[in-house]
Amino acid sequence: MVLAAGLGKRMRPITDTIPKPLVRIAGKTLLDWGLDSLAEAGVTKAVVNVHYLPDQIVAHLGSRAVPRIDISDESGGLLDSAGGIVKALPQLGGEPFYILNADTFWIDAEESNLRRLALAWDAGSMDILLMLADLDSATGHSGGTDFLVDADGRLRRAAGSQDGLIYAGAAIVNPALFKDAAIEPHSLNRYFDTAIAAGRLHGMAMNGRWITVGTPDAIPAAEAAVEKALAQGV
């Protein structure tokens, strides 16, 4: 599931005419950075939700062969991160699946981080497994950390601690977590907190360079980070 339905308000004026997932970094759209990572991990089908300037995203994705794209149309109203997933559940099936944000991406250090995430997944002990980045591996991140990790990989909220890690916009989730959820606007954070309370929110630190592009003036730093990471074979 690729979450691509946001308005991208902080990227204006660029997003006055194009949706944020189609902003290009180092010659590739943000959306394609994520979809290429899914393809590298062996994913054959991705559901992409759309809302703002949806026809542009649909047209852009028309030429992609791998992964095969299904569109979840939210033109009638934004559903936020979790609501969009609940709407798309019939397209996603009953097995655990990846969730990716369409406005962040990363450069893998040799091995695919999404493959590593799949290998780390344990349905017996996890409801959600988050990919995490440390502050030193992040470009464009202006906030603090999100989660602290215990010795068993379980997560709790960082609550301002600088010893924590950043949610890197990629996860694996068990669809059973959304059982009986309504198709209405609500955030994934609700499910993160539910999983924390049950001891079933886990995390895996990624290897490589994580990049987020929140505003137009962040684009040059993102492109420089891509160039450096690829040159160094991060």
Residue ranges with strand state E in the chain: 2-3, 24-25, 28-29, 45-50, 68-73, 97-101, 104-108, 128-133, 138-139, 147-149, 155-157, 166-173, 201-205, 208-212
Q: CA angle, corner 98, sides to 97 and 100, nearest 5?
A: 150
Please indicate, yes or no, whether the overall pTM of this predicted structure exceeds 0.85.
yes
Domain that holds residue 195: 2-232
CB 123 within 8 A of CB 194: no
Q: What's the number of domains the chain is made of?
A: 1
Q: Which of 8-12, 49-53, 119-123, 195-199 has the lowest mean pLDDT?
A: 8-12
- For position 145, which CATH number holds? 3.90.550.10
pLDDT at 214: 87
Per-residue pLDDT tens digits for 39-49: 999 999 999 99
